[in-house]
Amino acid sequence: MAENTNSLLKKSSSCSSDSSKWKIHDTPQDSGLLPTIAVSLWLGWNGFLLWIVIYAIFLADNYQRMVIVGLFTLSLVLPANFPGALGYRIGDWMMVQAEKYFGLKTVIEDEDDLIRHSKQKKAIIFAFNPHDILPYAVFAFNPTLRRLPGKIGEDGCCLMTSAIFSIPLLRHVYSWVGGIPVDKMTFLGRLHRGESFAFTPGGVHEVLMLNPEKPLDVVLYLQKRKGFIKLALQTGSPVVPVFGFNLDGSYGYWFPRGSFMEKISRSLKMVPLVFWGRWFIPFGIPNPKKIHVVIGPAIDVPKEGDSVTQESVDKYHSKFLEELEALFERHKHEAGYADRHLRII
């Protein structure tokens, strides 16, 4: 088993270094009216909801305040994917327009290997990095965009913090674009059903590590993030390192720092901060950055079921970190990150 796994790892590494085998899909960038409207409907709700709350508290009369509270309550009672098929059609349209707004470029280093896993009906864990202010670049895995082959592409979705699905209106929008709350039950359920997904293992902790005084550092909080490796070993699910270039600069931001802020963020599962994007609008849409997502070779892991050992977890976690760092180094020059340094802590 170990020899087979090692041979697969060597094969994937050789394929990843051969750029002639990479599948590149590059969308011309268009941040015009329609793409801007679509991205506003998707990512502009943070500011919209804030202004509604401010209006309800300070400006609305009793009737208006009652209507706003009623709408928010109704949104929380209704299913997150309401109104079903219509919502998904709106979500698909937003994703196609977002593809243009960000000029999405994806590079798959070993598509043949992904096709192999797809034929085997294996679920793949796409571990996307970095989180940054908002890891919106995971929309590259939305099935409407057809960036991934076979069943893997059809199953595409993103597991994200459950806090989003507790926010009125926002919970519907993120459901329409393929968002699902991240928790152990959902994670394992999709792996057992052979349904692939993307998620950001660094989580909101990486937001707290953003430092404008060190603009050349790209900090990832991954050394202690081993839970997803253990679940991969339980089910024998391959893990794919993914890196999204140019997320930084999408937003300006400010938040107080310190241990108290860290405790609040862990409790809320999100960082309470002030950020601004295009046209300097607070909590608005991100600047139209050219998003460049690179998808590395799959790391095959054995299926250990309920007998996963800490030794195996450490081994494949280390392999994941090595492959992720190598992926970053292979693509950083083309992506304009030649002077940037990856720090994994």
Residue-wise pLDDT for 197-235, tens only, equals 999 999 988 988 998 889 999 999 999 999 999 999 999
pLDDT given for residue 15 in this prediction? 57
Burial class (CB in 10 A: 0-12, 13-18, 19+), 306: exposed
* Position 9 pLDDT exceeds 60: no
Backbone angles phi, psi at 241, to 5 degrees: -75, 135
pLDDT given for residue 10 in this prediction? 52
pTM: 0.92
- b/e sequence 327-345, b meaning 16+ C-beta within 10 Å: bbebbbeebebeebebebe
CA angle in degrees (0–180, nearest 5) for 92-242-19: 105
* Position 45 pLDDT exceeds 70: yes
Phi-psi region of 174 (alpha: psi -120 to 50; beta: other; left: phi over 0): alpha
Confidence of residue 31 (pLDDT cuts 50, 70, 90): very high
CA-wise closest residue to 214 among 340, 91, 129, 55:
340
Average pLDDT value over all residues in the chain: 92
